[in-house]
Structure 1
């Protein structure tokens, strides 16, 4: 019995500077063994960590293909007896990585992602504490059947709800609509609520559909939108508030919806797109009537991941709408 640890780089793995002196930009230098050696208390975990150094890459450079390869490697570790999985990566895209994993991870063993907001050259680096908490969650029977989780600051977040809500704070991660699923308290994993699992999605590595994301802004003329159908296979719209756009955009989006799936989300970061409250041109009711798919509680970034996976699997519009009704 063990916990499989895969390292991908990011702030948690940075040490030293490119200039060789204080104040310079930090660079990634720590291996998985280095990370583990810096964490006091891992010897009380009760199970060993099996460390595998994956690609040392900034999280901004991660791709769907790399993350799906990581899922495959994690699945092999579970098949070999790992009780859970921990992945360290940069926090910039951890919410998106975690949601992609959650959509395809079929195993009861927890898949835990963590990182750091303060690198090891700074006072009070949070990486060791986050790694210890993540390992405890991965090893805990309480975390089974919860899919992919994000653990930082002793909080356990569900991948489908977590957001990076602050650029620099060690308490940067939040789940605006639900709060964390649980906490790590005095070394004990306390899960307070258990959301239902969704059926894992199938994947097709042979397809890489392009899905655009358009955030609606004040006085938005959307001049580039009509051309998207020539270069992309799907579109996510981050609308105002509960899912509204300027009236001039409504027919443009409606036309696009006849040519490819268009998903309506909210740019706010919390709350749901409505379905039948407002009826003006550009409202959620009007846009749905024009063929847009309601993204529900999913934020734009997660909606894009879900839509891309569905398109890669060959899903048609009706299947996509049904999947968003289930997942959002």
Structure 2
């Protein structure tokens, strides 16, 4: 069995009004025939990445695991880029195989000059077949760079260099067809797939914010991820509402900046990280808000209580 290629749609497969299936997608990639491992194409129902659900992503994870158990040395998933940083992280959290699980896509569709999809797909296939990529979990391969799902972010709406890892840089590169892994991330044990749903709101703090807006958003939710200013600050007027929420549900403190960690005890003014954590908010560490929501929803869907959530963020945040 060759490398399993699962196609989910996205810009990489957009050809005007039509969508390219896996056969047409791979036919447009010069160099695939030089791979030591062929591609075993499995076309999935095309879904715009903005419409993907947890259930659909977890179903792909199970299909990918089944392919590895059947002998595939690695897996490539093509999808849209809008939510790729989130789907990659969700897959990474549950991926229990040593075989590489590689996500890629495109920023320019095949009808445009210089589409990047073929090069990205070729690089992703090379990484999926590479021994140095084993044991690294889910990876995102774009622009000949190899990124850990845990750290990668989409940082530009149109650039082909949109995927970067601000806190770490890429794990490696594909150079003249050779996969060079320069550093390996610390891997945590995989989490079980959820057995129930969970409603997790994401609230981004803004200038002159209103506690009533926060309270209304949190109504009916099981938890909240808070994207605070800078190192984890909020307007002082929000603190009573956040303290009340943290008394009845997990509230995870993250930074809206997209890079760097929230702090724990550097600032002590009203609305500071020290005050918020003293009221029971959970330290999100280096996890940015979108990925914190993925982790929190997965934990709650598996029955984790507040203490288990806090422990998980202490390990993974």
Check the 8 A contact 1:9/1:57 in 2, yes or no.
yes
Partners of 1:28 and 1:185 lie apart in 2 by 33
Superposition RMSD on alpha carbons, in Å? 0.9
Matches within 5 A, 1:111-190: 111-190=101-180
Partners of 1:119 and 1:230 lie apart in 2 by 40
What TM-score does the superposition give when structure 2 sets the normalisation length?
0.99
Structure 2 residue runs of 5 or longer lacking an equivalent are: none
Partners of 1:42 and 1:48 lie apart in 2 by 8
The aligned counterpart of 1:21 is none
Structure 1 residue runs of 5 or longer lacking an equivalent are: 17-26
Say which SS state the counterpart of residue 226 (structure 1) adopts: helix
Of the candidates 239, 248, 251, which is equivalent to residue 237 of structure 2? 248
Of the candidates 276, 282, 293, which is equivalent to residue 271 of structure 2? 282
Partners of 2:252 and 2:286 lie apart in 1 by 12
What TM-score does the superposition give when structure 1 sets the normalisation length?
0.95
Partners of 1:204 and 1:120 lie apart in 2 by 37
Partners of 1:222 and 1:123 lie apart in 2 by 48
Cα distance, 1:228 vs structure 2: 4.5
Give per-residue Cα distances to partners, 1:66-94, cap 9 Å, x unaligned: 00000010011000000000000001110
Q: Does 1:319 align with 2:286?
A: no
Matches within 5 A, 1:187-202: 187-202=177-192
Q: Does 1:89 align with 2:82?
A: no
Q: Alignment length, in residue pairs?
A: 317
Q: Does 1:8 align with 2:8?
A: yes
Cα distance, 1:230 vs structure 2: 3.6
Q: Does 1:265 align with 2:254?
A: yes
Give per-residue Cα distances to partners, 1:38-78, cap 9 Å, x unaligned: 10000111111000001201000000000000001001100
Say which SS state the counterpart of residue 224 (structure 1) adopts: helix
Cα distance, 1:2 vs structure 2: 1.4
The aligned counterpart of 1:218 is 207
